[in-house]
Each structure stands twice: as C-alpha cells, then as structure tokens.
Amino acid sequence: MCGIAGIFSKKLDPEKLGSALKSMQSAIGHRGPDSNGIFVEDSIGLAHTRLAIIDLSPAGHQPMFSDDENIALSFNGEIYNFEEIKSQITDYPFKSKTDTELIIAAYKKWGIKSIEKLNGMFVLSIWDKKKKELFIARDRLGIKPLYFYKEEDSFLFSSEVRSLLASNLVPKKLNKQSLFEYFTYQTVHAPQTLVNNVYELLPGHYITITHNAFEIEEYWKPSTSLNKDVVDHSKDEVLKNINTLLNEAVEKRLMSDVPYGAFLSGGIDSSIIVGLMSKSLSNPVKTFTVTFDESEFSEAKYAETIAKRFNTDHTEIKLSPQDFLDEMPSALKALDHPSGDGPNSYIVSKVTKESGVTMAMSGLGGDELFAGYPVFTNTLKLEQLKWIWSVPSALRKPVGSLIDSIIKKSSTGKLKELISNDELNLYQSLSLSRKISLEKELKSFLNLNEYPDPVSKILSNQIETEKDNIPLLSKVSIAEITTYMQNVLLRDTDQMSMAHALEVRVPFLDHELVEYVLGVPDKFKTPDYPKKLLIESVAGLLPDEIVHRKKMGFTFPWAKWLKNDLLELCDTNIKALAEREFIHKNDLLKRWNNFLKGDNRIRWTEMWLCVVLEQWLKDNGIDS
C-alpha cells in the first residue's frame, strides 16, 4: 500500500517537472513512510511513497523498472493472485518477491489486457518508453483512488487531491457545480470532485495517454460482469459456491510480511471475516475493537463473544466521547476530499495502527453485497405498492404534503417527494434513499445557477430497468456499490487509514465473489432477516446472538455534540461559510439557529457538512 503521483507534460523542462513532482510526493508522504522514489525523464515523471507489506527488502523500491529498462512502474495496492500469474510467465528474470515486479512482467507479456488477470486493489501507472505512452488503471471496485488534472499540454495524477494541489500547477478553484451534489449526498461522485477540472478515475477504467492522444476506457462493470450461470444453480450450489469464494477471498488476503489483524465490531460482516481468518491460520488472529465508556455506544460484549469463539488475540481499545472529540481537528485535516462520514474511520485506524499492526481486514462491502441495508427491503415493498402510482397525481401529492406538514421530520420530505413522482422510478427511489437533504431545502441557502443531481444518471449507466435480466436486489446492490460505497465508504476508508499508514483489505469486494453474488436470484437473497444469504453460506460459523443482534455501527450523539462540545468549531465555520458567494447568508444562519433550537426537520448531518466544507476550503486554500 502506497501513494503514487505523476506528471506528463510537453511544456515543463525536467527540472521544473521534478520540482513539482517532489512537492506532490511530499504531500502524500503519510501514505508510504518506509521509502520513496522519483523517476524523471524528458516529459514524464513518476513518484512513489512506499508502505512495505510484501517483500520488505529494497528490491520492492519504486518506481520499479523492467529488466530492459523500457517499463517504469509506480503502483499502489496489492495483487492477491500474483504468485498464480507469476507461474504463467516463464520468460521473465524476476529479481524480487513483490507483486510490483509481477505487474511489470505481466504488462510486458500481455500489454493492457494484463489488468484483466489481476485480482486485488490497485492503481497502477506504467510508462512505456518505446511507445512513449502512459498507462494508468484503477481496480474494478474502486478500492484505491486516483485523481487527475488535464490541460492542453500537461497531465497530472495522484492518489490524493491535495497532492495535485501541492504541485502549484493545478488552480485551487472550487467546482461550484458539485456543491449541490455534496450537500445532497454528503459526497461528490466520481468522476467529479470539488476542485475545478480535477477528476477521479472511475473504478474499472484505465487511461492511455501520449502527446497526441488521451483516452479513457472501461474494462469492468458490475452489471455486465455478473455471473449469469448462477440462475441455473440450486440453492445448495449457491450456498456452497459462496462459501468457497468467501474462503478463497479471505485466504488470498492473508499474504503479508508485516503484522496484521482484523477490525472486529461484533457485527455479522466483521465476525465472519474473523471466523474465516481463524480457519485459515494456525496462530490466533489479532482482533481490534474500539469501544466506548457509555454502554449505549459499546459493542464490546458482541466482539468479546466472537473473540472467545475463535480464540483470537483480542485488543479492546476503550475510548470516551472526549477522546473522540479531541481527535476531531486531526481527523478533519486528514480529509483529502470532504465527506460527511470520515472521523469514525480516522479514530479506528489510528488506534489500530498504534496497537502494532500495519494491515487490517475489514468487513466493508457485506451490506452492499448481501442486502444488509433497509433500502433492499424497502425496494421490494415499493415493488408491491406500484399500484399507488396508478392513482392520479392530483390525489397523491396532497397526501404527501399532509404527512410532511403533520410529522415535520426530515424523512417525511423524502416520502412526499417519492409519492409526488409521476411514476415509481427505480433510479429516483434508490437515489432518494441516500439523500441527506432535498432540493427545496438546499435551494433555500445555496446560491447557485444550476442544481445538477448526477446520481440518477450514474444509476442509469450502471443498471437497466428493463430486459437486462438482473435480479432486483442485485440492481440495488449495484446502486449501493457504485454510489455510497465507492464514493463515501471506500474513499473515507482509504484517506483515513492511509493517514496513519494502515493498509485495509476488504475480502467482500473480491471481484469474483461480487460477480457471483450479483448473479444470485432474488428468491435466494431476499432478506427475511439481515443478510440471510450470507449467514446461510457460512452456516454454523456464528452464534445466534451475533446473527440476530441489533445492528449498531458507530453511533455517536452528533446532534448533541454540535450544540455543545463542538459548538465553537461549528459556529465559527458555518458563519465563515455563510460569507462565501455561493451561500445565501441569512438563510444558512437561520437554518443553523433553527437546528440549535431543536427543529427536527434539520438533520445534524446537514450542518456538519457545512462545517467540514469550510474547514477543507480553508485548509487547502481553495478559491471559491
């Protein structure tokens, strides 16, 4: 796990290119504290910061070069099947035990097609000296990030936005057209970012660039890559195959030359990962649980149950809410791109790294893949209630307005919007489920000319609604994977774990497992209880008290904190944000005051997004 950066430019001489590249490398030094390197030649420069996980020797130093010096590689991530691929290449003189060198050898043998053989999380950048071509590819599920900036004569890329800004070649201008999206979904969806003309390479895509051409191509997409043979499998076959794929996904990710462990919340997903790790290892798994003094926020008893069941080397890290609050300034500074849900990951990564591990397994992805969120059951219910939309809208709309006016909660606004739609549209209902604020609310304080909402477009590109033979629950999975998971959960996990040089691996996002589960018919996946298909696939692994426990997650009294412990920070930032030209000052301040007075229609998340945005703008010197 590492940080990468690069510049490909006609107009910069090698000295200026190298100077800019060093600044970019320095900005991502936290991602790779073990070593760093820079390669500059004519119009190309590659930089690397290394977090050594496989082959800790200097042989793993990057940028790495091919035996004939024609290929230069800067790579971030892990390739879990590199030994298998390596066995297929008998004509390359390997000098190390790294997956990095395997990528070079595979590229020399198969060219761009080599990425289709890779199983892992990665962003790789390859300079081919003979072709004078730069090739950049991102993993299928978007576990590792890649941002880029392109103008007529220059192309810059990096693992983090702040690295691009550090080059002083990228204008620090706010992308105002993404503000509505940010406040609506607590994030900005790739390929857009909050910096003007800075983009994120989409998962499953690659870039080829020369001085005369620039192309972005898609090589993997969940809806077209799902396993269509599953429809003919019996339930027993489905359960057996998922069990096999899960075990293989975990086993592949156990390769490491550094101490490692697993996050253990005591929930279904993390408990399964720990259970499968224990089956594969002769030594006890190191597990880490972050708990809190207040019992209402503590999952300690569930984690302890799993730790005892699998005889893990368990570490319970007790924190008070004050410990969490004390870390808030550092957590906000670690945000490379604003998000409404980053501090939790920052705290967990920090204490895990301090406990002596460099790599940790995570259960991220289990909810998205195995129907663990309410949106899955809600979508099934909506399908049964389609008849409501046959009622004339003149009758439906007043009902929604009446409910909203009586209950006066933020959630009733969503119901009103859904009922008011002309038809039950899958894209609209799925995007609505992830909205933090609605358009009417945001227009009251956002001073913008346009209010683009790209999520329905993203979903229409990812899933068809007719004649595609994709199970309905798999469509919901694809929607969750390509929106919330990739643009909030994975982005936050990467930036917050790498702030502490901690590698996080996610077995549930093994692409072979994802392809298979997305092909499973709804009749096997319908969640009569949370993640039924997953539980049945590992029957007997977990005790009933874990399987049927109430889902908690990291739940903190944020609304209370914003009004008390974090009041000074929030008040200062919100008042500063109110002075910016894209804000209707009086309307935002009124909304903030109403929140402080206890207006239930205003979520704490809406106010926190203002705080985070202003802090990020100040920290990065973004011109709004």
Smallest Cα–Cα separation from 17: which of 9, 25, 27? 9
Query: 206 in a domain, yes or no?
Result: yes
Q: What pLDDT is stored for residue 399 in this prediction?
A: 53
281 in Cβ contact with 254 (< 8 Å): yes
Query: 553 in a domain, yes or no?
Result: no
Highest mean pLDDT among 233-242, 258-267, 403-412, 434-443: 233-242
443/525 same-domain check: no
Q: What pLDDT is stored for residue 398 in this prediction?
A: 62
Q: What pLDDT is stored for residue 402 in this prediction?
A: 45
58/82 same-domain check: yes
Query: 234 in a domain, yes or no?
Result: yes
263/400 same-domain check: no
Q: Kindly report the CA angle at 416 between 414 and 418, in degrees rounded to 5?
A: 70
Beta strands (DSSP E) in 270-382 are 286-292, 313-319, 359-361
Q: What is the CATH number of the domain that holds 520?
A: 3.40.50.620
128/236 same-domain check: no
Q: Which domain holds residue 539?
A: 224-371+478-547
pLDDT digits (tens, 9 = 90+) for 377-396: 988 888 887 767 666 666 55
User: 467 vs 380, 430, 464, 471, 504, CA distance in Å?
Assistant: 18, 19, 7, 11, 38
Helix (H) or strand (E) holding 261: strand 260-263
27/154 same-domain check: yes
159 in Cβ contact with 123 (< 8 Å): yes
Q: Look up the pTM and report it.
A: 0.94
Q: What pLDDT is stored for residue 343 in this prediction?
A: 81
466/346 same-domain check: no
581/484 same-domain check: no
125/260 same-domain check: no
174 in Cβ contact with 583 (< 8 Å): no
Active site residue 2: yes
69/161 same-domain check: yes
pLDDT digits (tens, 9 = 90+) for 491-520: 999 999 999 999 999 999 999 999 999 999
Query: 552 in a domain, yes or no?
Result: no
| Burial category of 305 from C-beta neighbours within 10 Å (exposed 0-12, middle 13-18, buried 19 and up) | middle
- Each as own residue / partner, the long-range contacts of residues 422-428 (CB below 8 Å, 24 or more positions apart, any chain) are 422/389, 422/393, 423/389, 424/382, 424/385, 424/386, 424/388, 424/389, 426/379, 426/459, 426/463, 426/465, 426/475, 427/455, 427/456, 427/459, 427/460, 427/465, 428/456
Q: Which of 547, 569, 592 is the last residue of a domain?
A: 547
Torsion of CA 585, 588, 594, 600, to 10 degrees: 170
Residue with tokens 């799993």: 306
Q: What pLDDT is stored for residue 257 in this prediction?
A: 84
Q: Distance (Å, rounded) from C-alpha 581 to C-alpha 347?
A: 34
Q: Which of 414, 443, 476 is the last residue of a domain?
A: 476
Average pLDDT over residues 240-246: 98
pLDDT digits (tens, 9 = 90+) for 597-612: 999 889 999 999 999 9
Helix (H) or strand (E) holding 121: strand 120-128
Query: 494 in a domain, yes or no?
Result: yes
Q: What pLDDT is stored for residue 403 in this prediction?
A: 47
Q: Which of 547, 577, 605 is the last residue of a domain?
A: 547
Q: Is the pLDDT of residue 467 over 70?
A: no
Query: 319 in a domain, yes or no?
Result: yes
Average pLDDT over residues 534-558: 82
- β-pair partners for 33: 50
Q: Read off the tokens for 205.
A: 């895509």
Which is the catalytic residue, given 1, 2, 290, 459? 2
Q: Distance (Å, rounded) from C-alpha 146 to C-alpha 554?
A: 28
169/232 same-domain check: no
462 in Cβ contact with 222 (< 8 Å): yes
64/211 same-domain check: yes
Q: Is the pLDDT of residue 77 over 80?
A: yes
148 in Cβ contact with 155 (< 8 Å): yes
Q: Read off the tokens for 554.
A: 């990291």
pLDDT digits (tens, 9 = 90+) for 104-144: 999 999 999 999 999 999 999 999 999 999 999 999 999 99
- Structural domain count, the chain: 4
Query: 181 in a domain, yes or no?
Result: yes
CA 131 vs. chain centroid, Å, equals 33
pLDDT digits (tens, 9 = 90+) for 193-210: 999 999 999 999 999 999
Smallest Cα–Cα separation from 92: which of 115, 81, 108? 108
| Burial category of 110 from C-beta neighbours within 10 Å (exposed 0-12, middle 13-18, buried 19 and up) | middle
- β-pair partners for 47: 5, 38
Query: 76 in a domain, yes or no?
Result: yes
In this structure, which amino acid lies at residue 258? V
pLDDT band, very low/low/confident/very high, at 425 (cuts 50, 70, 90) = confident
